[in-house]
Amino acid sequence: MSEKKNAKIVVVTSGKGGVGKTTSTAALGAALAQEGQSVAVVDFDIGLRNLDLMMGAERRVIFDLINVIQGNANLSQALIKDKRLENLYLLPASQTRDKNALTEKGVLQVMEQLRSRFDWVICDSPAGIERGAVLAMKHADIAVIIANPEISSVRDSDRIIGLLDSKTERAKKGQEVEKHLLITRYDTVRAGTGEMLAIDDVSEVLSIPLLGIIPESREVLSASNLGVPVPISNPASLPAKAYVEAARRLCGEDIEVTLPVSKKKLFANWFGGRAA
């Protein structure tokens, strides 16, 4: 990391909680790192941090984002290098502080430093539309909006898109934040029974380009529990493939978005297996 870089800053955001922001941040970070990009994933969920767990680094946190902002540690001390991918780093959140410890000036300084050291900086936004979420999106060039195929998630995402168009630095300069929709927890079985909103309806309501569709899957759950992002833990699985494709689309590759359908899943149903 000697030469000066100019990272793209991505915010992973949704408004609603529990839709898969942190899981997606970890998975997109891992997928980009597998593509050879240097990546920092940054946890903005001060006081309720989870990204360290998803990255399997919870026992390695010494300094955090707030320490860097307050000048108690420098960025290099706080960045945790991933044990599996050498160009993947985590900047954890503080668990003991609250979001008021985030200052605008401090966030700007940390973002500028990260920008010059990585190819990608991926910020995991807290849920909600308050200060923490606004600061997480503030310096973003690109936003990945996570939505589940259900109405409350879609409306919250719509609200967040409105904030991206008004509260970010880019919006203030009259530029636009590049926005992508990532649909997560898509259940192929429930989709067939009409229990979920159709992908087309979600895309139509939010009217931003679709980055990918991540199937609801046991792989994702077990990867989270193990602390290994799914593209690393099981690269052949459907969600891993969907995340890797999404990461490649972020890099500008033109890959068609397809519905994730597993043949194995059908068999699993026939044999009474639990297809999550």
Partner 1 sequence: MLTQTRSSFNFHGRSFLAFVLTPSAPLHEWLLELDDRAAQTSDFFASRPLIVDLSKIELTKLELNSFLLQLQTRNFRLISVEGVDPSWLAPALEPLPGGKNTPYPSQESSRAEHAEKATEIQSLTLATPLRSGQSIYFPNGDVSISGSVASGAEIVCGGSVHVYGSLRGRAIAGSANNTTARIFCRKFEAELIVIGGFLKSSDSFDPDLYGKPVQAWLEENTIMLKIME
Q: Helix, strand or coil for residue 67? A: helix
Binding mask 201-220 for partner 1 (x = CB under 8 A): ---xx-x-------------
Q: Greatest CA span in the chain, whole angstroms?
A: 58
Q: Does 97 bind partner 1 (CB under 8 A)?
A: no
* Residues in Cβ contact with 190 at an 8 Å cutoff, skipping those fewer than 6 apart: 196
Kindly determine how many residues on this chain lie close enough to bind partner 1 according to the rule CB under 8 A. Answer: 12
To partner 1, the closest distance from the beta carbon of 249 in angstroms equals: 22
Contacts of 271 (CB under 8 A, 6+ apart): none
Does residue 175 belong to the site contacting partner 1 (CB under 8 A)? no
Asked if 158 touches partner 1 (CB under 8 A), the answer is: yes
- Cα within 13 Å of Cα(100), Cβ side: 0
Report the alpha-carbon distance of residue 114 to residue 99 in Å, rounded. 20
Q: Return left, alpha or beta for 272; rule: phi > 0 is left, psi -120 to 50 is alpha, else beta.
A: left
83: helix, strand or coil = coil
Q: Which of 161, 183, 242, 246 binds partner 1 (CB under 8 A)?
A: 161
Q: Which of 165, 171, 178, 275 binds partner 1 (CB under 8 A)?
A: 165
Using CB under 8 A as the binding rule, whether residue 156 contacts partner 1 is answered as yes
Residue 185 is which amino acid?
R
- Only one of the segments 78-86, 159-167, 179-187, 253-261 lies at the binding site for partner 1 (rule: CB under 8 A); that segment is 159-167
Contact with partner 1 (CB under 8 A) among 162, 192, 209, 273: 162
Nearest to 123 by CA among 227, 213, 236, 24: 24
CB of 110 to partner 1, least distance (A): 26
- Report angle CA 248, 251, 256 to the nearest 5 degrees: 45
Say whether residue 125 binds partner 1 (CB under 8 A): no
Residues 230-249 that bind partner 1 (CB under 8 A): none
CB-wise, 70 or 166, nearer to partner 1? 166
- Closer residue to partner 1 in complex, CB, 115/167: 167
Binding interface with partner 1 (CB under 8 A): 129, 155-156, 158-159, 161-163, 165, 204-205, 207
